Structure 1
Amino acid sequence: MQARFPADGITIKGQSKAYRRSADSGNQITGHFCPECGSTVYLTLDIEPDLIGVPVGAFADPDFPAPPASIYEQHRHHWISLPEDIEHWQ
């Protein structure tokens, strides 16, 4: 799960390693990882160059807001429950 933010509002410090691949849609996605521990730090999508995705697990805030939408639901684990009142994308 990730939160997406306008790229012009994000400041990235330090180094990262990048891995580029094709998403299920055929669009290109680049994952940026910590070179020390391998944790995903942020993601960029060629189709949405003005947004940066940050894994929600990177935030230590238990009150982090719930997502307004869900994508790639066909890949989620069966035990993940999603609110009915959000936008659902397959």
Structure 2
Amino acid sequence: MANAQCACGALKLMVSEPPQLTAVCHCLACQRRTGAPFSANAFYSAECVEISGASTEFIRIAESGRKVRMYFCPICGSTVYWRADGAPSWIGVAVGSFAEPAFAPPSMSVFEQSRHKWVQLDDALEHFEGLPTGH
């Protein structure tokens, strides 16, 4: 099992399985959410995630027009996880919230259309200008 948490530790997730997908995202919404030029994300089957602690929900509209529900700690403000209406069986978790340098590397890089040009990523990743289809 792995544990993710916010900066102050009040909002925690325990996951009982490995992620189904890890990816980095360069979309402008992720840049704003993280304050960084891209986000690192792990996606889990909702059934294997146990959430404890209070969270505040922020809903944004994705490029697809569907809702993405972001959950952050009301004490320290860290966004720890999210749920997208477009993928209701998954929970996305910020990789940094695991604070685990050996965490599984990403398999893909998405929304590279807004990637900062100085960001260099491994050629072993699948690269997509937008959101991949068929994954």
TM-score scaled by length of structure 2: 0.62
Unaligned runs of 5+ residues in structure 1 are none
Q: Which residue of 1 aligns with 2:100?
A: 61
Q: What is the aligned-residue RMSD (CA, Å)?
A: 1.2
Q: Which residue of 2 aligns with 1:32?
A: 71
1:78 maps to 2:102:
no
Q: Which residue of 2 aligns with 1:42?
A: 81
Q: What is the total number of aligned residue pairs between the two structures?
A: 90
What secondary structure does 2:51 align onto? Answer: coil
Deviations, residues 29-50 of structure 1 (Å, cap 9, x unaligned): 1100000011101011001011
1:23 aligned to 40, 47, 62, which one? 62
Return 10-19 or 55-64, whichever deviates more: 55-64
Aligned sequence identity (%)? 43
Q: How far, CA to CA, are the matches of 1:20 and 1:47 in structure 2?
A: 13
Return 73-82 or 26-35, whichever deviates more: 73-82
Letter in 2 for 1:60: A
TM superposition shift of 1:76: 2.7
Return 45-54 or 22-31, whichever deviates more: 22-31
TM-score scaled by length of structure 1: 0.90
Deviations, residues 4-43 of structure 1 (Å, cap 9, x unaligned): 1111000000110001111122221110000001110101
Structure 1 runs, 4 residues or longer, greater than 6 Å off? none
Letter in 1 for 2:108: A
TM superposition shift of 1:58: 0.7
